[in-house]
Amino acid sequence: MPLRLMSWMKLFSAAIVIAALLYKIREKSMAESPMPELDPDPWWGPGEREKGDDSVRNFKIAISNQDLDDLKARLSLPLRLTPPLENANFTYGMNQNTLKEIVQHWRLKYDWRKREALLNYYPHFMTKIEGLDIHFMRGSAQTKGAKNIKVLPLLLIHGWPGTFVEFYDIMPLLTTPQEDSNVVFEVICPSIPGYGFSQGSAKQGLSHLETAQIFLKLMKRLGYDQFYLQGGDWGSIIATSMATMYPENILGIHLNMFVANSLGPNLKLILGAILPAGIVVSHEDQEKLYPLTEKFGMFARETGYLHIQATKPDTIGAALNQSPVSLAAYIMEKFSSWTHRDNYKEVNGGLLHKHFPIDIDKILDNICIYWFTGSITTSVRYYAENFSPKAVANNLDSIPCRVPSAMSAFPHDLLNQPKNFIAHKFYDIVSYSDQLVGGHFAAMERPKLLARDFHQFVNTVETREN
C-alpha cells in the first residue's frame, strides 16, 4: 500500500475512534459543568445600595443644544490626519482620506435633529434594575385586523459596535403581519448596560451572565414571563446565556453569529482540518472553517480590537471619547470590514460605494449615540468583563441549551460554526439557514432575510407545540 494511503487510513480509523468518543466526552463534560450561580440581587450602581424604584419611565432622545454645539465645534477643528499609503485602501485600517470625506458629510450634510426625530419614532423607556438605569425601545405588535395572528413577545439584543439603532429597518417586519407567517411580535430592544442610554456599571464583573439576569428582570417587569430571543454579536451571547440559564422563560432563540467554544466543536475543528471533506465537516461547510491558515489569518487581522478591549479598555476608551473623528474612524472601519470580508481591499473600504448595504447616515446615527452618551469606554469594558477569568470559568458553552433554537449563518460574518458543531451546545436546533449574502450587521444589512428566517422559525415552533 502506498505510504500516503496508509497514513490516511490510520488517520481515518483514529478519527472514527475519536468521533465515537466525542459523544461520551460531550455527555461527561456537560454533566460536570454546573450552572453559574449569580447573586440574585447585586448592586451595580455607584456607591452603596439605594432604595428600589421599579417604575418604568417614558424617555425621549433629546440631545441638548449644548452637546450638539460641542459636537459641531469638534467636527470643525482642523483635521490632524495622516495621508494613507498609496493604493492601500483599508489594508492599514481606516483610510484617512475616506475618514475626511465622512467627517465632511457628518459636519455639513448630516442633520442630527432630523435623525433624532426618526430615532424617536418608536417609544423609548427607562427603568432601574440592580442599580442601573436600563434603556429600552419598544415596537408594538400591530395585527392590522388580520385574523388568527398570534402576538408574541420578543427580546431583540444588539451588539458592539452597535446599539438599538441596528433595529429600525427590521422592526416593522417584526411588528406587522408578514406573508406566510401567523405571528407578529411585541418587540423590546434593550440597550446593554454601558451602551447608549443604559447606564454603565460602577462595579467590576458585569458580564453577559449578569446581563442575562438584568434582561430577564426587565422582561418580567414588563409582564413577560415567556418570550423569544434574537441577537447577533453580544446580543447572540447574552441571548444564549439567557436560554441556557432560564430555559423555562424562553420560547425560542434565534441567532446570527454563533460559536460554541467547547471540547466537542474544537476537536471537530482539528479533525475536520486533517480528514477529507464530508467526514467531520460537510463539503458545504468547508468554507466556514477552512483552510485554517487562511481563517486564522483573517481572525488575526480582524480581532486586534478584541484583544485591546479585553485587556486595556479604558486606554482605548480615552482616545475615542475625546474626539468624534477618532470615534468615527474606529467604528466605521468595523462597518467596512465586517459587512464583507474583502472590503479592506476596496477603495474607501466599500463604505462610500453606491451598493454598500448600510446607509452611511444610519452608521452615523449609531456613532452619534455612542458620542452623545459618552459610552464608548463602558461599551469596550464589556470585553474585559466577558473575557475575565471569572466569566470564562463559568464555561457556559459546555452547558447544553435545550430550548428551540435557530441559526442564521451570514457568509461574511466573522465566524459561524456548522450545524454539527453548534449542536454540541444547542440540543434542539429547529432550523439552520445558510444565507447567500450578508455579514455581521445582518439586521441593518439584510433586514428582510433575517426577519423572514426569524418568522419561519417561530411559526415552526408555534405549530409544533400546538
Ligand X SMILES: *[C@@H]1O[C@H](CO)[C@@H](O)[C@H](O)[C@H]1NC(C)=O
Supply the residues annotated as catalytic.
233, 383, 440
Query: Is residue 97 close enough to count as binding ligand X by CB under 6 A?
Result: no
Q: Which is nearer to ligand X, 139 or 350 (CB)?
A: 350
- Whichever of 89 and 378 has its CB closer to ligand X, that residue is 89
Stretch that binds ligand X, among 4-12, 56-64, 82-90, 215-223 (CB under 6 A): 82-90
Q: How far apart are CA 96 and CA 101, in angstroms?
A: 9
- Among the listed ranges 17-25, 84-92, 97-105, 406-414, the one in contact with ligand X (CB under 6 A) is 84-92
State the cell numbers at 314.
479604558
> What string of H, E and C letters represents the secondary structure of the chain?
CCHHHHHHHHHHHHHHHHHHHHHHHHHHHHHHCCCCCCCCCCCCCCCCCCCCCCCEEEECCCCCHHHHHHHHHHHHCCCCCCCCCCCCCCECECCHHHHHHHHHHHHHCCCHHHHHHHHCCCCEEEEEECCEEEEEEEECCCCCCCCCCEEEEEEEECCCCCCHHHHCCCHHHHHCCCCCCCEEEEEEEECCCCCCCCCCCCCCCCCHHHHHHHHHHHHHHCCCCCEEEEEECHHHHHHHHHHHHCHHHEEEEEEECECCCCHHHHHHHHHHHHCCCCCCCCCCCHHHHCCHHHHHHHHHHHCHHHHHHHHCHHHHHHHHHCCHHHHHHHHHHHHHHCCCCCHHHCHHHHCCCCCCCCCHHHHHHHHHHHHHHCCHHHHHHHHHHHCCHHHHHCCHHHCCECCCEEEEECCECCCECCHHHHCCCECCEEEEEECCCCECCHHHHCHHHHHHHHHHHHHHHHHHHC
Stretch that binds ligand X, among 52-60, 83-91, 103-111, 189-197 (CB under 6 A): 83-91
- Nearest C-alpha neighbor of 454 from the set 160, 260, 230, 295: 230
Min. distance of Cβ 353 from ligand X in angstroms?
11
Estimate to the nearest angstrom the gap between the alpha carbon of 225 and the chain centroid.
23
Residue 346 or residue 413: which is nearer to ligand X going by CB?
346
Q: What's at 47, amino acid-wise? A: G
Residue placing its CB nearer to ligand X in the complex, 91 or 388? 91
Of the two residues 90 and 195, which places its CB atom closer to ligand X in the complex?
Answer: 90
CB of 82 to ligand X, least distance (A): 17
Q: How far is the CB of 89 from ligand X (least distance, A)?
A: 4
Nearer to ligand X, 89 or 375 (CB): 89
Minimum distance of ligand X from residue 363's CB (angstroms): 21
Task: Provide the residue type at 435 as one letter.
Answer: Q
Q: How far is the CB of 198 from ligand X (least distance, A)?
A: 39
- Contact map string, positions 140 to 169, toward ligand X, x by CB under 6 A: ------------------------------
Examine residue 91 and tell whether it contacts ligand X (CB under 6 A): yes
Q: How far does CA 94 lie from the centroid of its chain?
A: 22
Q: How far is the CB of 336 from ligand X (least distance, A)?
A: 13
| Of the residues 22, 36, 89, 452, which one makes contact with ligand X according to CB under 6 A | 89
Closest residue to ligand X: CB criterion:
345
Q: How far is CA 40 from CA 237, 259, 318, in A?
A: 20, 27, 33
- Minimum CB separation from ligand X for residue 344, in Å? 8
CB atoms within 10 A of CB 18: 15
Q: Which is nearer to ligand X, 91 or 97 (CB)?
A: 91
For ligand X, which stretch binds (CB under 6 A), given 88-96, 102-110, 300-308, 310-318?
A: 88-96
- Size, binding site for ligand X by CB under 6 A: 6
> With CB under 6 A as the contact rule, which of the stretches 51-59, 86-94, 163-171, 254-262 interacts with ligand X?
86-94
Contact pattern for ligand X over residues 341 through 380, marking x by CB under 6 A: ----x-x---------------------------------
Closest to ligand X by CB, 95 vs 408, is: 95
Min. distance of Cβ 90 from ligand X in angstroms?
Answer: 9
Single residue of 55, 87, 293, 463 touching ligand X by CB under 6 A: 87
Stretch that binds ligand X, among 69-77, 81-89, 228-236, 265-273 (CB under 6 A): 81-89
CA–CA dist 98, 79 (Å, integer) = 13
Rounded distance between C-alpha atoms, residue 48 and residue 438, angstroms:
46
CA 410 to CA 450: how far, in whole Å? 9
CB nearer to ligand X: give 92 or 427.
92
Under the binding rule (CB under 6 A), the answer on residue 58 touching ligand X is: no
Minimum distance of ligand X from residue 342's CB (angstroms): 9
Residues 322-341 touching ligand X, rule: CB under 6 A, are: none
The residues binding ligand X (CB under 6 A) are 87-89, 91, 345, 347
